[in-house]
């Protein structure tokens, strides 16, 4: 299922967006595109849409099961613009977005799929899930110079913190039930990261509705959908295990030659299991049993 543009996809593939959850994956390069797609298919998304340049090659078995859309992935705000166009075209569905080499985890995802997750969250009268982007990186950069290795993946087990999110319209007082989260490689190598790109929180799984917009900082125009909990109890949060920052730090000439190893005393191998992320406090089960 191939489409020459996002416009063609939104015009001709409306049945694919009739019922969610839908995963929208943007491939900035050819690194682990197939594993990203397989991971989210296995997670339970009804449809997986790949935004990618035509030159990216996929295994035939994967290529035949996704909606492949030719897209200028390096245009300014390419993913945000695509998400907002999907929101407008398909109100009322659960939508997820990510880049290649990023993998969504939610509490107990080994036994409960994402459709069960959003069904439960809907019953909780919640329309969005807060996601923490957890940086993954290869343990041996000599063997894996682009810092990507599923078999040798590591993450930081500590060094995360949160600050109140200021409300510019209210004298910069902190917004209710909103925080900005920091940590991982963007914290340890912050001299190589623009300040506006250092936070690790994203609202990347949410229910679309008319007038809703995704902003450049991965928050939504409806402020209640940016909260980590409802007024009466904590809600589920999710984690996005991501090689994207490690890839960028190893690709950018300004940082590549300054970084010999991403590991430090608080590095630990990633087990590819939700329990590890919950044990480290990197996602919250809330009332999800």
Distances (CA, A) of 112 to 93, 117, 228: 19, 7, 21
As a whole number, mean pLDDT of residues 44-53 equals: 97
* pLDDT given for residue 231 in this prediction: 85
If asked whether residues 140 and 278 sit together in one domain, one would say yes
- Mean pLDDT across the stretch 200-208? 98
Q: Which pLDDT value is given to residue 177?
A: 92
Four-residue CA torsion sign, 107, 242, 113, 109? negative
Residue 288 pLDDT greater than 80, yes or no: no
Q: Compute the chain's Rg from CA coordinates.
A: 18
Counting the structural domains of the chain, the total is: 2
> What mean pLDDT comes out for the span 251-267?
92
pLDDT of residue 289: 64
Q: Please, how many CA atoms are within 13 Å of residue 229, restricted to the half-sphere of its CB?
A: 13
Residue 151 CB partners (closer than 8 Å, separation 6+): none
For all residues of the chain together, what is the average pLDDT? 95
pLDDT of residue 246: 97
Mean pLDDT of 97-117: 97
Confidence of residue 247 (pLDDT cuts 50, 70, 90): very high
Task: State how far the Cα of 191 lies from the Cα of 210, in Å rounded to an integer.
Answer: 39
Provide the residue range defining the domain that includes 155. Answer: 102-289
The tokens describing 153, both together, are: 């993946």
pLDDT, position 63: 86
Higher-scoring residue by pLDDT: 60, 182: 182
**Would the pLDDT of 140 be above 90?**
yes
Burial class for 110, CB neighbours closer than 10 Å (0-12, 13-18, 19+) = exposed
Residues 95, 120, single domain; the answer is no
Whether residue 276 has pLDDT greater than 70: yes
Residue 146 shares a structural domain with residue 53: no
Q: Which helix (H) or strand (E) holds 84?
A: helix 78-89
State residue 22's pLDDT score: 98
Q: Tell the residue number behind the tokens 């209710």, with chain if given.
A: 176
90 shares a domain with 6: yes
What whole-number distance in Å separates Cα of residue 2 and Cα of residue 77? Answer: 23
- Cα 30 from Cα 23, distance rounded (Å): 18
- Residue 82 pLDDT class (50, 70, 90 cuts): very high
CATH number, domain with residue 7:
3.40.50
Residue scoring higher pLDDT (192 or 234)? 192
Residue-level pLDDT at 230: 87
If residue 274 lies in a helix (H) or strand (E), which one and from where to where?
helix 274-279
pLDDT in tens, 119-137: 999 999 999 999 999 999 9
Residues 61 and 180 in one domain: no
């Amino acid at each position: 299922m191939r489409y020459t543009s996002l416009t063609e996809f939104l015009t001709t593939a409306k049945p694919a967006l009739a019922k969610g959850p839908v995963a929208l994956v943007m491939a900035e390069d050819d690194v682990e595109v197939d594993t990203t797609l397989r991971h989210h298919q296995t997670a339970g998304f009804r449809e997986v849409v790949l935004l990618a340049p035509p030159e990216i090659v996929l295994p035939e078995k994967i290529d035949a099961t996704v909606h492949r859309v030719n897209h200028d992935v390096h245009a300014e705000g390419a993913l945000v613009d695509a998400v907002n166009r999907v929101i407008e075209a398909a109100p009322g569905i659960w939508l997820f977005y990510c880049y290649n080499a990023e993998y969504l985890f939610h509490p107990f995802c080994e036994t409960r799929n994402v459709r069960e997750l959003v069904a439960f969250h809907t019953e909780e009268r919640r329309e969005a899930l807060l996601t923490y982007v957890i940086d993954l990186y290869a343990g041996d950069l000599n063997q894996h110079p682009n810092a990507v290795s599923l078999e040798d993946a590591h993450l930081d087990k500590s060094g995360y913190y949160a600050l109140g999110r200021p409300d510019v319209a209210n004298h910069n007082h902190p917004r209710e039930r909103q925080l900005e989260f920091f940590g991982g490689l963007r914290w340890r190598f912050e001299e190589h990261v623009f300040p506006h790109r250092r936070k690790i929180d994203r609202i990347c799984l949410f229910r679309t509705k008319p007038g809703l917009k995704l902003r450049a900082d991965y928050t939504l125009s409806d402020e209640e959908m940016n909260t980590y909990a409802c007024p009466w109890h904590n809600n589920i949060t999710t984690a996005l295990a991501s090689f994207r920052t490690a890839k960028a730090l190893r690709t950018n000439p300004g940082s590549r030659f300054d970084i010999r190893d991403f590991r430090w005393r608080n590095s630990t191998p990633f087990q590819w299991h939700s329990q590890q992320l919950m044990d480290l406090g990197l996602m919250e089960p809330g009332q999800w049993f």
